[in-house]
Amino acid sequence: MLVDFQESEKDTVVECELCVIGAGPAGITIAREFQESDVRVCLVESGGLEADEKTQALCEGQNIGLPYFPLDHTRLRYFGGTTNHWAGQCAPLMKMDFEFRPWVPFSGWPITKSDLDLYYEKAIPIAHLGRNVFDERAWSFFDLEPPQFLQKKITHHFWQRSKNPIQEPEVMPLYYTPLRFGHIYKDELKNAENITVLLNANVTELSTGHKGQSVTHLNVSTLDGRHGRIKAKKFVLACGALENARLLLISNQANRQGIGNENDLVGRFFMEHPTTRCGILVGADEDAILEVYKMRFSEGMRYRPGMAMSEDVQIEEGCLNAACTFDPEEETHPGLKAARQIFHSMKEMKLPNNLTGHVWSILRDLGQISDYAFCRFKGNVYCSHVMHLYVRMEQAPTPDSRLMLSSERDALGLQRVNLDWRLKDIQRRTAKAMMKCLGSEFGRLKIGRIQLADWLQEDRDPEWDGSYHHMGTTRMSDDPKTGVVDPDCRVHGVHNLYIAGSSVFPTSGFVNPTFTIVALALRLADHLKSQLS
Amino acid sequence: MTRRQFVFVATLMATVGWAKASFWKRRFEEVLLGDPTQEGVTMDLRNSLNGIFSNAEAPRLLGERYLNDYPDGRTGSLALAEYLRQTGVPTSEGVKRMLAQKCESDFYRGDLVSIDGVLLARTEAEACALTILL
């Protein structure tokens, strides 16, 4: 059932066996796994069923490291969590992503990919994906010949886009809407007798016993000043990598450093997926290339191919896992721009402003215009386009990249966060190795040549972008000295507190995190079932 | 020695001497002035290289940049010229084919150079440099 905590009695106390904090993909997946069981579950969500400015403002924080997006833009704080604005791109991490690599300090998961394979399989219908194929084999779904890269250099990799079974034509009529977890699974959770979804309930503290070895209850508040408590046998934090760490740090009654932070690890190792343009493809048939690498459909599901750096190259070059996609951008020649403006104005049966200026621009740019016209005449689509090579890579884990509590407070009186995002030189080295690999393979296969971006030519750092992916702040490790949670996702030293979501990732691979978040949530749900039965 | 024997021996010695002198003269020319047949190939190689570039200016510019940016570029380019000479394929088509094979091998091995940020096979850059060096 759905309960709005704003309408509850004063000082309400909710009791259950399992309390899951955060109704995003991880929280919803865990709660769904307990449908029709004897376990009473309380799924606590800070927001309501729709976005709300005041609740969203609780996510605000400051960036004090590399330039990054405003923190309240990168996640959403209402039922369904950040899947309310995700692109739906899914793929599993690769085998090597889980392994220790001597050239990547702090790499290695305490579990292997085979420990997750079964859960990836189970996550497919939950994320509404197609077949469980994300590698070269996916080419067989389409009637085309991909470039035959040397496998020891470049391998093909596919993302799938989760499909929303309930399209939202009023929102984006021509767009393939990704799955919104809140939208799709709301009714199931509402109808489940053993599950209570508590909306507009903000957890303000995880209260532990005297020694801090177990969580006794949660303190919750609404923005209009109601307070309450939630008692449970087991608690799962599933609020995303920033809020998970923040809540552990804020909950410092028993231990000044916060929960699970005896070794000063909570909030450290923050990772993103650094992305940037690394060069352009020159001398190539853009249309032919994009025909191969465009987003395409098979059995109604959407697939997008990319080029990934092979394990051999990562080992040889001592670099990170990375992938490259094409990012065509139309060149804005002044003559072409002017011609288009005249064309659009004439379609509306009127003359454009500054007609003389436009005509002059066209006359001065006749060479480009005739090239463009000839290219279009030949039936090509991507004329006058620059083919950027867009690289996304894993971030090398480093304790210096971290979030900390700030002195500023939010509307609930809780300390906000400062994010100090930092990157190591290996990121630049990885981009360089990726371009070298692609450059040699594009040349060998006569696809074209690569012109490196200025920053790579000058051997300086680019302006890295993130991908709205937050990971690593409560990393998983066998050893409490190197991780916050154990391989079962239980906080070291706290017997009834678990963490779900990408904050437990020790390394990130280059793929989008949500599919792995769901797989790990399923694995955690299995563990909790065995504990609660 | 009869007069007939003297004429025979003298003629023989003169013939041998002339042959020997001719041989050494030829070697001398080869060493100091170059092999005239090889010189022919050099001329052909230059023409052949010019024949495979549709635009004469671009390879010159690339070649200049390559020689400027890569200190060992000159040695490598001359070694490429030597390699092409040895193969004895003076036609543009032949040179083009040989260069294409060498470029493919460079790409396979990842032996690339960056000229103004463009990643080229080393052989491509060396071939451009030869348009200046030959």
DSSP helix, strand, coil percent of chain A (3-state; round to 5): 30, 25, 45
Question: What's at B83, amino acid-wise?
Answer: Y
* B112 to A454: CB separation less than 8 angstroms, yes or no: no
DSSP letter for each residue of A150-179: -TTTEEEEEEEE---SS--TTT-TTS-PPP
CB contact under 8 A, B112 and A439: yes
Interface contact flag, B119 A436, Cβ < 8 Å: yes
* Structure confidence at residue A172 (pLDDT): 47
CA of B110, closest CA in chain A: separation in Å? 5
Q: What is residue A382's three-state secondary structure?
A: coil
- Residue A420, SS3 per DSSP: strand
Minimum distance, in Å, between the CA of residue B104 and any CA atom of chain A: 5
Q: Could you give the C-alpha distances from A113 to A117, A120, A516, A521, in angstroms and in order?
A: 6, 10, 10, 15
- In which order are the strands placed within the sheet that holds A402-409? A61-63, A415-420, A402-409
Contact criterion met (CB below 8 Å) for A305 and A158 = yes
Element (H, E) at A301: strand A301-309
Q: Which helix (H) or strand (E) holds A445?
A: none
To the nearest whole Å, the CA of B109 is away from the closest chain A CA by 8
- State the Rg of chain B over Cα: 23
Q: Nearest CA to CA, how far is B17 from chain A (Å)?
A: 58
Residue in chain B lying closest to A451 (CA): B118
B107 vs A454: CB contact, 8 Å cut-off? no
B108/A444 CB distance under 8 A: yes
Q: What is the number of CB-based contacts under 8 A between chain A and chain B?
A: 48
A323: left (phi over 0), alpha (psi -120 to 50) or beta: beta
DSSP 8-state code for residue A471: B
Contact B114 A457 (CB under 8 A): yes
Secondary structure percentages of chain B, helix, strand, coil, to 5: 80, 5, 15
Q: Residue B51: is its pLDDT beyond 80? A: no
- What span, in angstroms and rounded, lies between the C-alpha atoms of A422 and A135? 31
Give the whole-angstrom CA distance, residue A475 versus residue A90. Answer: 21
Specify whether the CB–CB gap between A233 and A462 falls below 8 A: no
Q: Which two tokens stand for residue A43?
A: 């799924």
Q: Report the C-alpha gap between A3 and A18 in whole angstroms.
A: 16
Question: C-alpha distances in angstroms, B120 versus A151, A280, A436, B93, B126?
Answer: 21, 14, 10, 21, 10
ipTM comes to: 0.84
> What amino acid occupies position A325?
T
The 8-class DSSP code of residue A196 comes to: E
> Nearest CA to A414 among A199, A239, A196, A234?
A239
Contacts of B119 in chain A (CB under 8 A): 435-436, 439-440, 443, 449-452
The three-class DSSP label of residue A229 is strand
Give the residue among A127, A147, A533, A94 at the shortest CA–CA distance from A314. Answer: A94
Q: Are A376 and A492 in contact (CB under 8 A)?
A: no
Could you report the per-residue pLDDT of A258-305, keeping only the tens digit for each?
999 999 999 999 999 999 999 999 988 888 888 899 888 888 888 999
Q: Which residue of A has its CA nearest to B110?
A: A440
Q: C-alpha B28: how far from its chain's center?
A: 19
First to last CA, chain B: 59
Residues of A in contact with B110 (CB under 8 A): 153, 436-437, 440
Q: Is the pLDDT of residue B47 over 90?
A: no
Whether the pLDDT of residue B44 is over 80: the answer is no
Per the CB < 8 Å rule, is B119 touching A444?
no
**Partners of A202 in the beta sheet?**
A221
| The predicted structure's pLDDT at residue A358 | 85
Q: Output the pLDDT for position B29.
A: 37
- A448 to chain B: which residues are within 8 Å by CB? none
Place of tokens 């889980």: A98
* Contact state of B119 with A435 under an 8 Å Cβ cutoff: yes
Other CB atoms within a 10 A radius of the CB of residue B118 amount to: 22
Whole-number pLDDT of residue A94: 97
Residue of B nearest to A435 (CA): B119
Low-confidence ranges of chain A (pLDDT < 70): 167-176, 332, 381-384
Instruction: Give the helix/strand (H/E) hosting A88.
Output: none
Q: Which of B112, B116, B118 sits opposite A440 (nearest CB)?
A: B112
Phi, then psi, of B36 in degrees rounded to 5: -60, -30
Of A69, A71, A76, the residue nearest A55 (C-alpha): A76
Q: Are A230 and A218 in contact (CB under 8 A)?
A: yes
Among chain A residues, the shortest Cα distance to B115 is held by: A451
CB within 8 Å: A450 and B119: yes
**Are A449 and B117 in contact (CB < 8 Å)?**
no
Is the pLDDT reported for residue B9 higher than 80?
A: no
CA A21 to chain B, closest CA, distance in angstroms equals 50
Return the bridge partners of A426, or none: none
Q: Which residues are within 8 A (CB) of A481 and not within 5 positions of it... i.e. 6 or more apart?
A: A263
Question: So what's the pLDDT on residue A466?
Answer: 95
- How far is it, in rounded angstroms, from Cα A152 to Cα A170? 47
Joined tokens for residue A473: 């702040």
Q: What H or E segment, with its residue span, contains residue B45?
A: helix B36-52
Three-state DSSP class for B75? helix
- Give the span between the Cα atoms of A118 and A98, in whole angstroms: 15
pLDDT value, residue A42:
97
- Residue B118 distance to chain A (closest CA, Å): 4
Closest chain B C-alpha to A321 CA, distance in angstroms: 19
Facing B119 at nearest CB: one of A150, A153, A439: A439
Interatomic CA distance for residues A409 and A506, integer angstroms:
29
Element at B119 (helix H, strand E): strand B118-121
Residue listed under structure tokens 């034509």: A169
Interchain CB distance below 8 Å, A437 and B121: no
CA–CA distance from A284 to each of A319, A369, A384, A392, A448 (Å)?
28, 20, 12, 22, 5
Q: Both tokens of residue B91?
A: 């036609």
Other Cβ atoms less than 10 A from the Cβ of B76: the count is 17
Query: Which residue of chain A is at minimal alpha-carbon distance from B124?
Result: A443
